[in-house]
A and B are shown apart, each in its own frame.
Chain A
Amino acid sequence: DAKTTQPTSMDCAEGRAANLPCNHSTISGNEYVYWYRQIHSQGPQYIIHGLKNNETNEMASLIITEDRKSSTLILPHATLRDTAVYYCIVKGGNYGQNFVFGPGTRLSVLP
C-alpha cells in the first residue's frame, strides 16, 4: 500500500501557483519524497524529489516540513499543460526499491 495520502482532486487557475499537499506521517529517516505526474495515459513523468531540505528545479519546488511528515509540491505558474494526475511517493534511497503508486491528485488547471 502507498505510504502517502493526497487529496483526490484540486483545481487551479491558469497562471497561479498550484500547491499540492501530501501527507506521509510514517516516513522513515532514509526515505525520500518523490513527485511524479501522469498526463492523460502517458508514462509517469519525474518532477522532483527530496529528503529533508526544500528542493527546486525548473519544473517545481518541493517543500518538506521539518518533521518530514508532510510535503507540498509547488508549480509556480500553472499552465493548462500542467493538468495531470500528480503522485507523491515515499521510497528509500536504495535504487533497488520500487515505487508504490497511490491514486494521486488530479489537478485541473482552469483557463
Chain B
Amino acid sequence: EAGVTQFPSHSVIEKGQTVTLRCDPISGHDNLYWYRRVMGKEIKFLLHFVKESKQDESGMPNNRFLAERTGGTYSTLKVQPAELEDSGVYFCASSQTSAQYFGPGTRLTVL
C-alpha cells in the first residue's frame, strides 16, 4: 500500500512569488492534515480536511495560505505571496481512524 506522498520534495522561491504544494493521501483516507515546521520550532498543525470539507483551519497562519481538497482526494496548499518566514518543512498526513500517517514533507525555502 502506497503511503502519503508529497510534491515537490524541495522548493526554492523568491519572496513575493507563489508556490503550490501537493499532498496525495493514502487511498481511502477521508482525513487529511497539513502541518509545518519552521526553523528551530516544533511541528505545528495547520488544518484538517474531512473529505473535501475543511474541518479545522485554526492553525493557518494568515490569509496568504490557501488549502484545497477538491473531490476529497489530493490536497494542495498554496502560499501567495510567499514571505521569508514561510520557509520550513510542510508535512501532510492522512488517517482513516485515529493514527495519522505522515508524508516525507516538502522543504520550502523563501529567499
Residues of B contacting A42 with CB < 8 Å? 104-105
Residues of A contacting B96 with CB < 8 Å? 95
Cross-chain contact A46 with B101 (CB below 8 angstroms)? yes
CB interface residues, A 61-107, toward B, < 8 Å: 91, 93-96, 98-103
Interface 1/0 per residue, A13-43 and B, CB below 8 Å: 0000000000000000000101010000111
Cross-chain contact A96 with B31 (CB below 8 angstroms)? yes
Given contacts A96-B56, A101-B44, contact A41 B107 (CB under 8 A): yes
Cross-chain contact B99 with A34 (CB below 8 angstroms)? yes
Interface size bracket, A side: 20 to 34
- The A interface, classified by DSSP as helix, strand, loop or mixed, is loop
Residues of A contacting B91 with CB < 8 Å? 43-44
B89 at the interface (CB under 8 A from A): yes
- The B interface, classified by DSSP as helix, strand, loop or mixed, is strand
The smallest beta-carbon distance between A48 and chain B, in angstroms, is: 9
Chain A: CB-nearest residue to B44: A101
Contact of B100 among A2, A46, A94, A103 (CB under 8 A): A46
Cross-chain contact A96 with B43 (CB below 8 angstroms)? no
Given contacts A43-B102, A44-B102, A49-B98, contact A98 B59 (CB under 8 A): yes
B55 at the interface (CB under 8 A from A): yes
Name B residues whose Cβ lies closer than 8 Å to a Cβ of A. 4, 31, 33, 35, 42-45, 48, 50, 55-56, 59, 89, 91, 93, 95-105, 107
- 26 residue pairs of the A-B complex, CB under 8 angstroms, read A2-B42, A32-B98, A34-B99, A36-B102, A41-B89, A41-B105, A42-B104, A43-B93, A43-B102, A43-B103, A44-B91, A46-B99, A46-B100, A46-B101, A46-B102, A95-B96, A96-B31, A96-B50, A96-B55, A96-B56, A98-B45, A99-B35, A100-B45, A101-B35, A102-B42, A103-B42
